[in-house]
Amino acid sequence: MTRSSRLILAAVALAMALAYPLPLWHIALQAPQYPEGLGLYIAIDRIEGENPHDLSSINNLNHYIGMKVITPEDIPELRFMPYILAGLIGLGLVAALAGRRWLLATWVVVFAAGSLAGLADFYRWTYDYGHNLDPHAIIKIPGMSYQPPIIGGKQLLNFHASSWPAAGGWILVGAMLVGVALVVREYRARPGAAA
């Protein structure tokens, strides 16, 4: 790897540490009665309301449709995801230090696989919350489910839910794109070369 590629990779790997304090995803809810909106931030190790009481308000509203209470403590992924991210950052730094482009490529592949698995898991949880409803729910509409989108907007009864990456998520997306660019750069510059 070139010196500049190694420096960029190291910088990108370190920048990924910002995904600890910054949330990965944002789900915004808008309804006529909530002109100020409600929102959830999903971070690497926690789920929190956009405003102090949003999570409890959302849970309280969800009881009408029989959705399970969102309890961050009950989501095991929030406990081990920080280690996966630490591993990704570590692998990126090792690749930068070693300067081996195969390590870089491995990093990108692992990163992409991990991200896809994360999104799939996110989908699984939202599917569960949206479909696995209390049969004694107060409001039951045949055929209606309440899974929020992973990306984009969707009308769920009186609420419009929209879901997009948040700052930490965008940093990871950016890191992955830079990683892909570095792979292209390294392999295009010296195709087949050993290092």
Partner 1 sequence: MTRMKSWARTGLAATAIAATVITISCGKASTPAGGAGDAASRVYVPPGQHDEFYAFMSGGFSGQIGVYGLPSGRLLRVIPVFSQDAEKGYGYSEQSKALLMTSYGFIPWDDSHHPSLSKTDALNDGRWIFINGNNTPRIARIDLADMHTHEIIEIPNGSGNHASPFVTQNTEYVVSATRFSVPTPQRDVSISEYKDAFDGQISFVSVDSATGKMSLAFQIHMPGFDYDLARPGKVASHGWAFFTMYNSEQAHTLKERNASQADKDYITAINWKQAEQCVKNGKAKPGPATYAHNWVDDADIARHEMLSGTKVLQPVDCPGMAYFLPTPKSPHGVDVDPTGEYIVGGGKLATVIPVHSFSKMLKAIEDKAFDGELKGIPVLKYEATIAGEVADPGLGPLHTEFDQNGFAYTSMFVSSEITKWRVKDQTVVDKIPTYYSIGHLLVPGGDTRQPDGKYVIALNKITKDRYLPTGPELTQSAQLIDITGDKMQMLLDFPTIGEPHYAQAILASAIKDKQVRIYQLEENKDPFGVKAEKDVKVVRKGNVVHIYMTSIRSHFTPDNIEGVQVGDSVYFHVTNLEQDWDVPHGFAITGARNAELLIMPGQTRTLAWVPERVGVMAFYCTDFCSALHQEMQGYIRVSAKGAGTPISFNAPK
Token pair of 32, please?
């006529």
Alpha-carbon gap, residue 54 to 47, rounded angstroms: 11
Nearer of residues 4 and 60 to partner 1, judged by Cβ: 60
The answer to whether 129 and 68 are in contact (CB under 8 A) is yes
73 binds partner 1 (CB under 8 A): no
Alpha-carbon gap, residue 43 to 182, rounded angstroms: 27
To which residue do tokens 């949003």 refer? 54
Shortest Cβ 89–partner 1 spacing (Å): 35
Handedness of CA 181, 182, 187, 190 (dihedral sign): positive
Shortest Cβ 35–partner 1 spacing (Å): 9
Strand partners, 49: 40
- Piece of the chain touching partner 1 by CB under 8 A; list 52-60, 89-97, 121-129, 184-192: 52-60
Nearer of residues 34 and 102 to partner 1, judged by Cβ: 34
One-letter amino acid of 156 = L
- Piece of the chain touching partner 1 by CB under 8 A; list 24-32, 51-59, 165-173, 179-187: 51-59
Write phi, then psi, for 145 (nearest 5 degrees): -125, 165
138 binds partner 1 (CB under 8 A): yes
Q: How many residues contact partner 1, by CB under 8 A?
A: 9
* Binder of partner 1 out of 17, 18, 64, 152 (CB under 8 A): 64
Nearer of residues 52 and 143 to partner 1, judged by Cβ: 52
Alpha-carbon gap, residue 157 to 86, rounded angstroms: 39
Q: Which of residues 139-178 bind partner 1 (CB under 8 A)?
A: 139
- Which residues sit at the interface with partner 1, rule CB under 8 A? 36, 52-53, 56-57, 60, 64, 138-139
